[in-house]
Amino acid sequence: MRKSIRKYKPEAVPDAKLDRILEATRGAPSGKNGQPWRFIVVRNKTLKEKLVPACRNQSYVAEAPVVIVGCAVEEESYQKQGGYMKSWPLDLAIAFTHLILAATAEGLATCWIGAFDESEVKKALDIPDKFRVVGLTPLGYPAENPPHKNRKQISEIVSYDKAPAK
């Protein structure tokens, strides 16, 4: 089962694995099939190290052989999701989930990084203004095997034929 990994082996990610992961990511659904996503595959050591301070000094970001940065083009997304919102954060989250699950199936590890400063990530990778940075993940072979984190019970999160009690 997938879990977040925060220690990585230096071993490279084989290109064939990376290609299959990106292919699974490409197949994600999106609002009106807008596919407003772009993925920056960062393998250069200097660039990876520049990302660490941009990610609140989470040093394992640079430990993995690959970091993937998920970006969105707002205007390519569905503009009236639910009648009130733009779909790009959802589209990116779904695509990133495909990426993370495909990586797990390949025996690779990831950790969704949401604690980052968008302007610092943009500066580190020279990303133009028109893109929004939605999330990052290191990608590599795990060098730790932490226990699974606990989850709420099904009875706490699912209700049948009625609204949640709380």
Ligand X SMILES: Cc1cc2nc3c(=O)[nH]c(=O)nc-3n(C[C@H](O)[C@H](O)[C@H](O)COP(=O)(O)O)c2cc1C
Distance CA 7, CA 94 (A): 24
Position 115 contacts ligand X (CB under 6 A): yes
Report, in Å, the least distance between residue 97 CB and ligand X. 9
Q: Name the one range near ligand X by CB under 6 A: 21-29, 65-73, 112-120, 156-164.
A: 112-120
Q: Name the one range near ligand X by CB under 6 A: 21-29, 44-52, 109-117, 156-164.
A: 109-117
Distance CA 106, CA 57 (A): 28
Q: Name the one range near ligand X by CB under 6 A: 20-28, 64-72, 111-119, 123-131.
A: 111-119
Position 30 contacts ligand X (CB under 6 A): no
Position 141 contacts ligand X (CB under 6 A): no
Q: Where does this chain bind ligand X (CB under 6 A)? A: 3-4, 6, 58, 111-115, 149
